[in-house]
Chains A and B, each alone.
Chain A
Amino acid sequence: MNKRWLLRWFGLAALLFTGSRWLPVPEPYVPVYPANFGNRLNIPADNPLTKEGVLLGRMLFYEPLLSANNKVSCGSCHQQQRAFTDGKKFSTGIDSIPTERNSMSLANLLWVRHFFWDGRAESLEQQALTPLTALHEMGQPLDISAAKLRRSQRYAALFNAAFGNSNITGDQIIKALAQFERTLISANAPYDHYLAGKYQLSPAAERGMQLFMNAPDPGKKIRGANCAHCHGSPKLYMELFHNNGLDSLPLDPGREKLTGLAADRGRFRIPTLRNIALTAPYMHDGRFGTLEEVLDHYSEHIIQSPSLSPVLRNTSNDMNGTSLKLSRSEQKDIIAFLHLLTDSTFINNSQFSNPFN
Chain B
Amino acid sequence: MKYTLLLFLATILLHSRTWAQSATISVTGEVTHPLQLSAADIAAMKKVTVQATDRDGKAHSYTGVPVADILQQAGVTMGAQLRGENMSKYLLVKSGDGYEVLFSLPELDAAFTDRVVILASQVDGQSLPEGKGPFRIVVPGEKKPARWIWEVTAMTVRFAKE
Mark A residues whose CB is within 8 Å of B: 114, 119, 238-242, 259-264, 267, 306-310, 313
Contacts and interface: CB of A to CB of B under 8 A. Distances in A.
Contact of B131 (A239, A259, A313): A313
A210 to B, nearest CB: 19
Nearest to B23: A261
Nearest to B132: A310
Main secondary structure, interface of B, reads loop
A119 B131 contact: no
Nearest to B95: A240
Contacts, number: 39
B96 A263 contact: yes
A83 to B, nearest CB: 23
B150 A241 contact: no
Number of contact residues on B: which range applies?
10 to 19
B85 interface: no
Contacts of A308: 131
B98 A119 contact: yes
Contacts of A313: 131
Interface string B143-162: 00000001100000000000
Interface string B62-97: 000000000000000000000000000000000011
Contacts of B132: 310
Nearest to B22: A261
A242 B130 CA distance: 14
Contacts of B99: 238, 240
B46 interface: no
A242 B131 CA distance: 10
B17 interface: yes
Given A308-B131, A310-B150, A263 B98 contact: no
B21 A262 contact: yes
A239 B98 CA distance: 6
B20 interface: yes
A259 B20 contact: yes
18 contacts: A238-B98, A240-B97, A240-B99, A241-B97, A241-B98, A242-B97, A259-B20, A261-B20, A261-B21, A261-B23, A262-B21, A263-B131, A263-B151, A267-B97, A307-B131, A310-B131, A310-B132, A310-B150
